[in-house]
Chains A and B, each alone.
Chain A
Amino acid sequence: MATVFKKPHALKDLSLHYCPGCTHGIIHRIVAEVIDELGIEGTTIGVSPVGCAYNNYEYFHVDMVQAAHGRAPAVATGIKRVHPDNFVFTYQGDGDLAAIGTAEIIHAATRGEKITTIFVNNAIYGMTSGQMAPTTLLNQVTTTSPFGRKPEIHGFPIKVCELLSQLEGAAYVERTSVHDVKNIRNTKEAIKKAFKVQEANKGFSIVEVLSTCPTNWGLNPVDALKWLETNMLPFYPLGNFKGKDLEV
């Protein structure tokens, strides 16, 4: 019988620990498929974050280094400077990247560090049970913004792609989503391009992927996808912010 669907080789044959309906799993699969399709499993080194994906080093068939909260871009810098010919990627949540690790991501991008960041934006802290993230939407209820995020109290959500695309060292900046099949495909194309930008030594590349957290949003998986579409898309416009026409 012909095999029509199987796990990508770069993803180990393990069951992932994410909550039902969480789109971290989809993003993992996409990263692994891209690694397979580019044939770069043997030369890729990944950096795991702190957050729900903290132990994704166990899932990928590539060498992985687990980093402190927010520090993945600095760790990746160290790795890339030692192995400039390898592919180095970080996988980071919004709390990780846009709160505690803001300096690290901005400066890795500024230096034009030849790494690729997969930035999973679910508008909340997942692992520590639903606190407000820098990306939490206005009026969004979280455990630390129980009456909704109010700009006068909590400030405004950070738009990471808009911010990073201003930096000269950032070569490729794109925001995608995984709330339906079409967008999952787009995400894959974007991540593939981001790795190619790295291969071509063009500079820093990042793909922000809008993702769901059904558990902490208090929604079932299907409603969570709808919530993302209805609430996140208007505030976080999808598309390319930089490097669309880069020849790689």
Chain B
Amino acid sequence: MAEKLLMKGNEVIAEAALRAGCRHYFGYPITPQTEVAHYMAKAMPKINGTFVQAESEVAAINMVYGAAAAGARVLTSSSSPGVSLKQEGISYIAGAELPAVMVNIVRCGPGLGGILPAQCDYFQSVKGGGHGDYKNVVLAPSSVQELYELTVEAFNISDKYRILTIILGDGMLGQMMEAVEFKDKEEIYQDDKKWACTGTKMERESNDITSIYIQPEVLENHNLKLQAKYKKIEENETRVESYNCENADIIVTAYGTVARIVKNVIKMAEKEGIKVGLIRPISLWPFPTAEFEKYAETPKAFLSVELSAGQMVEDVRLAVNGKRPVHFYGRMGGMVPSQKEILDKIKEILNK
């Protein structure tokens, strides 16, 4: 029977990873995600898994790189400043085409910033962050239930395409407690990992994992191969939820925690006779461009609400492609907009 438990977001991530077959975790403490590490530190020794508290995020992501190269399902988690340090390793993971999952429970910045929720790492997550032409899959859950489901999926996507998958949450989601219903058994994508470094056992040629290609023709081909893979992911792994968009006066777009607030705004607006739709990107990369194209001519305007100075709004503008005005409303520094604030902004846009 499915098990229903009341759990904290960060702990659910760890539990989901274990259920997805992850037996190796490498990390370094940073608020507001540290409970992932606490959970793993307790759980891993009991199941013969690995928990290593690395000396830094730089080391942690390189341990992930090694473990992934060795064929393991592997997890690391951090928060914004820590993820900045991981960027070197992330670029190498992309270059060497290794599967791994990283959680970023975003806090507000720049710099040391604060520990409260933010979405100011959108650019860093979906546009690269490290050096080189590469992409990571970025999934943005908006409930604890989704943290569980998307963490499991993240491992499957990673193994299927040999790519880093990022769970992009925020401090609110990581710290909140909600009921979560676990499945009896997870569907786990099985890769034979013939490419991994496990020792030749004198039975095969040696496997090499590398991201260096000094010959320009070879490196360009490697890049073309990566780009073809990214295209395939765009075709197959785009995830989006849209709600109330048919005949909407305005379509709000938001992800993660903010999308939950917007759902309440929709109800408030309805009472005042305003029809508000919501497009909630679940995969931030690949971005659900097609969903925006589908509704691009429905509303009077779009409004992107974010815990940032306006980052996802750029992708929304590209997707809407000038067909409708795209507005932005955001709060920073750990401030979270109230329902009323968002509704007021909607009314201002609609001149009501």
Chain A residues in the interface with B (C-beta under 8 A): 41-45, 47-48, 54-55, 57-58, 60-68, 71, 74-83, 86, 103-104, 106-107, 111
A68 in contact with B88 (CB, 8 Å) = yes
B26 in contact with A78 (CB, 8 Å) = yes
Expressed in whole angstroms, the minimum distance between the Cβ of A70 and any Cβ of chain B is: 9
Distance, CA A104 to CA B208, complexed state (A): 22
A-B contact pairs, 27 of them (CB 8 A): A42-B203, A43-B201, A44-B199, A55-B212, A57-B208, A63-B199, A64-B207, A64-B208, A64-B209, A66-B208, A67-B62, A67-B65, A68-B62, A68-B65, A68-B88, A71-B65, A74-B59, A74-B60, A74-B63, A75-B62, A76-B66, A78-B24, A78-B68, A80-B66, A82-B74, A107-B55, A111-B52
Interface residues as binary, B200-217 with A (CB distance below 8 Å gives 1, 0 otherwise): 111100111111101000
Q: Which residues of B contact A104 (CB under 8 A)?
A: 55, 58-59, 62
Expressed in whole angstroms, the minimum distance between the Cβ of A91 and any Cβ of chain B is: 14
Q: Which residues of A contact B62 (CB under 8 A)?
A: 67-68, 71, 74-75, 78, 104
B92 within 8 A of A: yes
Q: Which of A44, A62, A75, A103 contacts B69 (CB 8 A)?
A: A75
Beyond A65-B209, A68-B88, A71-B58, whether A82 also contacts B199 by CB under 8 A is no
Q: Which residues of B contact A78 (CB under 8 A)?
A: 24, 26, 62-70, 72, 74
B197 in contact with A103 (CB, 8 Å) = no
Q: Which residues of A contact B210 (CB under 8 A)?
A: 48, 55, 57, 65-66
Smallest Cβ-Cβ distance to B49: which chain A residue: A81
Beyond A81-B24, A82-B24, whether A63 also contacts B66 by CB under 8 A is no
Distance, CA A55 to CA B212, complexed state (A): 8
B96 within 8 A of A: yes
B31 within 8 A of A: no
B339 within 8 A of A: no
Q: Which residues of B contact A63 (CB under 8 A)?
A: 197-200, 206-208
Distance, CA A44 to CA B56, complexed state (A): 27
Expressed in whole angstroms, the minimum distance between the Cβ of B202 and any Cβ of chain A is: 4
B199 in contact with A103 (CB, 8 Å) = no
Q: Which residues of A contact B66 (CB under 8 A)?
A: 47, 65, 67, 74-80, 82
A54-B212, A82-B70, A107-B59 given. 16 additional CB < 8 A pairs?
A41-B200, A48-B210, A65-B197, A67-B66, A74-B59, A74-B60, A74-B65, A75-B62, A75-B63, A78-B72, A82-B50, A82-B66, A82-B74, A86-B199, A103-B58, A106-B55
Smallest Cβ-Cβ distance to B214: which chain A residue: A55
Distance, CA A78 to CA B96, complexed state (A): 15
Q: Which residues of A contact B24 (CB under 8 A)?
A: 78, 81-82
Pair count A-B, CB < 8 A: 140
Distance, CA A111 to CA B59, complexed state (A): 13
Distance, CA A80 to CA B197, complexed state (A): 11
B89 within 8 A of A: yes
B71 within 8 A of A: yes
B269 within 8 A of A: no
B30 within 8 A of A: no
B54 in contact with A74 (CB, 8 Å) = yes
Smallest Cβ-Cβ distance to A77: which chain B residue: B63
Distance, CA A66 to CA B70, complexed state (A): 12
A83 in contact with B212 (CB, 8 Å) = no
Distance, CA A80 to CA B59, complexed state (A): 14
Q: Which residues of B contact A71 (CB under 8 A)?
A: 58-59, 62, 65, 88-89
A66 in contact with B67 (CB, 8 Å) = no
Smallest Cβ-Cβ distance to B72: which chain A residue: A82
Beyond A66-B209, A66-B212, whether A77 also contacts B71 by CB under 8 A is no
Q: Which residues of B contact A47 (CB under 8 A)?
A: 66
A65 in contact with B69 (CB, 8 Å) = yes
